[in-house]
Structure 1
Amino acid sequence: MSLNRINRGFAFLAFLVFLIFFIFAMTLNSSVSAWHPADPECSDPACVDPARSGAQKAFDFVCAMANNDFAGADSMCMTAMRKALGKSGTAKLWEALTSSMGFPKAMPADAAFRILDWTPVVQKVTSEGKKEISVTVSDVYPFPLKCMTIVRGTFEKGDVDFTVVTVDQGSGDIESNAADIEKSDGFTNSGVGAFFWRPVPAAPASQSEETPPPSYADAASFIEKDFRVGPQADLDGTLTLPKNLTRPFPAVVLVHGSGAHDRDETIMGNKPFRDIAHGLASMGIAVLRYEKRTYGRPAQSTVLASTMTLDTETVDDAADAMVRLSEHPSIDPDRIWLLGHSLGGYAAPRIVKRAMDRDGNCAGVVLMAAASLPLETAILRQYAYIFDICNAISDPSGETGNAEKTIPGNQDSGWTEEQKNHISGLMEAVALVRGRELAIDPPPAHKLPLAIPAAYWLNLRNYRPANELAGFDLPVLLLAGEKDYQVTSRDVAGWLAALKWKNNYRVVTVPEVGHTFIPSGPGAGSPADYEVRGNVDFRAVKAIANFILER
């Protein structure tokens, strides 16, 4: 048997073990922040709770394998885990990993590994007998308590993420300590209940270095401070403040587009949100940007995947950021603006409402390449554009439920059977999103557009962002990229149809830029535009500053 086949076998075994136990780690939320065992001793009470102890156990488990202490690693596993792995299980799995990724780049292992994120997991049974997954824990933790931890290690051939689930049965009687906790046959003791690893995709060599800051940003004119956001203050952020100007300042909260983004919305080495923050701060406007939850809390996002919605992914954190920013002594609470890029703009009306429900304030909204059409329509049209679909494909409109629209194309585009099949499958997925069965008997995520789970789509049902935004008496700046094929003139028209009765909006179209507003030259937009290195076009930043400072 070849070594590659052996390695694949061990990798599959690790993944299978994880699947057996992963169901016990599903959750809805988290109330803790990321932590590294090497940090100075923490004085916060959370530092000594059982869930935090689970993160330490996960870290110790990975380090034991890296230090070739496989007997120690095996002893940290639960009985069911040891049985599943078999004799010398962790040693064989580690051999499979190092044969493909090399060895840790630093020893002892503590220097090569760090905890990215961790989240406690509690599974309960309600009085009605319904199973619920939660991490909202009270002062007394119920048992068994599970904790999911992501540990990142640096190896000779790249980084590797280890996902580890630990279980703490507690020291007392399980029945009396947690009668509402569903006991699972596999969990007969405490320790590591599941783990698997995956290599972290490396950025292309041409994109490994970040684009330098824009020339229009004057680094001497602003300072940057740490600023935490989120209902549990568990997301890192950066507040960029002008210097040598009269306080308090007007301010803008930047909200990301789709995907797991850092605070700079980094993509292919470019940093659009950094450019906007530094550019606006150079003109006297404070800017808050922060890690998106799906980026800053990867463990939580993993266990939240099946229940995540636009609210838990984006809206709640953005609204919290607006409220927290209003309490900062350097910020004018009556001049806090919301800038939503792409999906962030699509979510803007909900964010404004959520912030106001919490007694927050919003002075106005900047919609930067923001979709107004239903999300499933945008996804379908983007693929059609990319594939250059040429024959008219029926697209039942989500607006009326019976109108027929077509996806335009070029009859001579040379599209392939594979592309046609992909679009046909996507249209079937869109039909499921719009169908009645989505709420009655939700299909599995892999049958829905982009494998986004049913909970996310149900949360967007009947959501019409343009109509909701028109319900607020707020100034609105619509920024569009001339080459943007993801958010097009149809989306702009959707916003304008709802805002046309108002006199407090402005539309600015920037030539030769696409979805990220980074210049990419003349011609039609394409995915290749993302590979062009550059900064957000100054005309876009200037338009934002002018619109805010005029008010």
Structure 2
Amino acid sequence: MICCCATLRAASQQLITMDGYPPQDTARVRWMLTKTRTKHQRPQMPHPPYHYTIEDCTFTGKKTGLTYGATLTRPIGIKRFPTVVLISGTGSQDRDYTVSGHKFFWVLADYLSNHGIAVLRVDDRSTGKTTGIFNRSTTVDFAKDVLCAVEWLNTRKDIDPGRIGLIGHSEGGIVAPMVAAMAPEKISFLVMIGAPVIGLHQINYYQTRQAYTAIYKPDTVLFAMMRLHQEIMSKIPAQAHDLSEMNVVVKNALDTFYKRESPGIVKRIIPDKNTYDRMFRSYQSFLSPWWQFVLSYDPAQDIQKVNCPVLVVYGNKDRQVPPAEDYALIKKLQHRRSESILIPDMNHFMQPDTSGNPKNYEAIETTIKPVLLEKISTWVLGQAQLGR
């Protein structure tokens, strides 16, 4: 998940409320927009008795020196089975990928292990039993974490090293091909769900426009605000590496904005000095190592290096990444052993949903759309039978 400064601004104007995550880096706030906390049914939540083994474990990454907390679920009564490592989206997530009262990866692991697939789900950096400093890390660091998990699986006698794959959601969906590009001999297949393959710079534009549409009316005001935002973002990270450089970038963009736009539009967007000052503060979070990396990273460069089979899935109601644009690009990048599907009435978080509005994630009782669970399971088992 990626959350833009527009969401923060909307929250400051009390247009929305949100659960901040992580609190140290507000530009990467989880895009969970809620007004009340009510208890909802979770019919897919796993309950004992479990028909697979569950092993809580810790391991040390040789390349990172970090300790990782994880849970491995393995099928019972099967000697040779595929294994997948789950990769969460943006934010420091626990191993269950707990978002809006749902445990997305616990539900996914339960289904897959019940159908003959071992699953390793791992706490992200600085979460649960995993060490490290999340806010100093980039997507490359997260890829190294996943590679450490794969290498640990390779040391186990109960895991077939030739049948290990990755399943990544959202940002995890672009981490997966990055790992496969790093160590192609260790990855047998990939599943990418809701992956922002067009790049997070474009995703920022997409999400910002959605948030601004609710704030700035008519369209002339919206277009002026988007021009201002893009002028600033186009200079990051090339010209903004520290606070002083960022302030210069924002000031130059604002100077151009004041000269270009009519007094009425200027007054609507920046009505007072407090708003002007807030504009500077809202862009400071883009100085974080993560933002500095993702704003210049093109996922296509790693996707093009992937030679193993890939399953790519989008929901047509995804409002956090543009499914049409991402789907079209991934179709161009894929090789003959890959498959792309667009699932009707599914949101970014894999739930059945006709609107895709992120504020509905918690209220939707189903954690993962059953057709997606079945597709992933069938596809992974098929790859395991074919071999690497």
Q: TM-score, normalised by structure 1?
A: 0.51
Deviation (angstroms), 1:386: 3.5
Counterpart position of 1:544: 376
Counterpart position of 1:240: 73
**Matches of 1:512 and 1:484, distance apart in 2:** 9
Assess, with a 3 A threshold, how the Cα gap between structure 1 residues 333 and 450 changes in structure 2: closer, same or farther.
farther
Counterpart position of 2:207: 382
3-state SS, counterpart of residue 300 of structure 2: helix
Counterpart position of 2:57: 227
**Matches of 2:374 and 2:48, distance apart in 1:** 14
**Matches of 2:223 and 2:242, distance apart in 1:** 29
Deviation (angstroms), 1:489: 1.5
Deviation (angstroms), 1:481: 0.9
Partner amino acid, structure 1, of 2:67: D
Give the total of aligned pairs.
315
**Matches of 2:212 and 2:368, distance apart in 1:** 27
Q: CA contact under 8 A between 1:480 and 1:508: conserved in structure 2? A: yes
Counterpart position of 1:308: 137
492, 513, 516: which one aligns with 2:346: 513
286, 305, 315: which one aligns with 1:481: 315
Assess, with a 3 A threshold, how the Cα gap between structure 1 residues 365 and 427 changes in structure 2: closer, same or farther.
same
Partner amino acid, structure 2, of 1:224: I
Deviations 1:479-521 (A, max 9, x none): 111210112210121222211xx2111112222110111112x
Assess, with a 3 A threshold, how the Cα gap between structure 1 residues 260 and 462 changes in structure 2: closer, same or farther.
closer
Partner amino acid, structure 2, of 1:274: W
1:455 aligns with 2:294: no
3-state SS, counterpart of residue 127 of structure 2: helix
**Matches of 1:210 and 1:508, distance apart in 2:** 29
Deviation (angstroms), 1:472: 2.3
3-state SS, counterpart of residue 443 of structure 1: helix
Counterpart position of 1:490: 325
Q: CA contact under 8 A between 1:386 and 1:526: conserved in structure 2? A: no
Counterpart position of 2:276: none
165, 189, 192: which one aligns with 1:364: 189
Counterpart position of 1:135: none
Deviation (angstroms), 1:440: 12
Alignment of 1:397-416 (within 5 A): none
Deviation (angstroms), 1:226: 1.1
Counterpart position of 1:160: none
Partner amino acid, structure 1, of 2:329: G
**Matches of 1:299 and 1:425, distance apart in 2:** 39
Q: CA contact under 8 A between 1:276 and 1:541: conserved in structure 2? A: yes
**Matches of 1:472 and 1:299, distance apart in 2:** 30
Counterpart position of 1:525: 356
**Matches of 1:427 and 1:298, distance apart in 2:** 37
3-state SS, counterpart of residue 106 of structure 2: helix
**Mind listing any 5+ residue stretches in structure 1 that lack a counterpart?**
1-162, 164-201, 392-412
**Matches of 1:218 and 1:293, distance apart in 2:** 29
Deviations 1:105-133 (A, max 9, x none): xxxxxxxxxxxxxxxxxxxxxxxxxxxxx
Partner amino acid, structure 1, of 2:168: G
Q: CA contact under 8 A between 1:432 and 1:448: conserved in structure 2? A: no
Partner amino acid, structure 2, of 1:495: I
Deviation (angstroms), 1:214: 4.8
**Matches of 2:283 and 2:126, distance apart in 1:** 19
Q: CA contact under 8 A between 2:237 and 2:292: conserved in structure 1? A: no
Partner amino acid, structure 1, of 2:206: R
**Mind listing any 5+ residue stretches in structure 2 that lack a counterpart?**
1-23, 25-33, 251-279, 384-388
Deviation (angstroms), 1:261: 1.0
**Matches of 2:373 and 2:157, distance apart in 1:** 25
277, 281, 285: which one aligns with 2:113: 281
**Matches of 1:547 and 1:250, distance apart in 2:** 11
Deviation (angstroms), 1:415: 7.4
**Matches of 1:490 and 1:506, distance apart in 2:** 16
**Matches of 2:226 and 2:315, distance apart in 1:** 26
Identity of aligned residues (%): 25
Deviations 1:112-167 (A, max 9, x none): xxxxxxxxxxxxxxxxxxxxxxxxxxxxxxxxxxxxxxxxxxxxxxxxxxx9xxxx
Assess, with a 3 A threshold, how the Cα gap between structure 1 residues 333 and 271 changes in structure 2: closer, same or farther.
same
Assess, with a 3 A threshold, how the Cα gap between structure 1 residues 203 and 281 changes in structure 2: closer, same or farther.
farther
3-state SS, counterpart of residue 238 of structure 1: strand
Deviations 1:389-412 (A, max 9, x none): 799xxxxxxxxxxxxxxxxxxxxx
Higher Cα Rg: structure 1 or 2?
1
Q: CA contact under 8 A between 1:211 and 1:271: conserved in structure 2? A: no
Q: Which has the higher strand share?
A: 1
1:211 aligns with 2:46: no
**Matches of 1:228 and 1:414, distance apart in 2:** 54
Assess, with a 3 A threshold, how the Cα gap between structure 1 residues 203 and 338 changes in structure 2: closer, same or farther.
farther
User: Aligned-pair RMSD on alpha carbons?
Assistant: 3.5
Assess, with a 3 A threshold, how the Cα gap between structure 1 residues 298 and 264 changes in structure 2: closer, same or farther.
closer
**Matches of 2:324 and 2:199, distance apart in 1:** 14
Assess, with a 3 A threshold, how the Cα gap between structure 1 residues 514 and 449 changes in structure 2: closer, same or farther.
farther
136, 151, 175: which one aligns with 1:323: 151
235, 259, 267: which one aligns with 1:432: 235
Counterpart position of 2:8: none
Deviation (angstroms), 1:287: 0.5
Counterpart position of 2:85: 253
Assess, with a 3 A threshold, how the Cα gap between structure 1 residues 437 and 451 changes in structure 2: closer, same or farther.
closer
**Matches of 2:341 and 2:360, distance apart in 1:** 20
Partner amino acid, structure 1, of 2:138: T
Assess, with a 3 A threshold, how the Cα gap between structure 1 residues 273 and 387 changes in structure 2: closer, same or farther.
same
**Matches of 2:213 and 2:243, distance apart in 1:** 35
**Matches of 2:329 and 2:281, distance apart in 1:** 28
Deviations 1:431-481 (A, max 9, x none): 232544549985379767581325334434653222322222111101111
3-state SS, counterpart of residue 328 of structure 2: helix
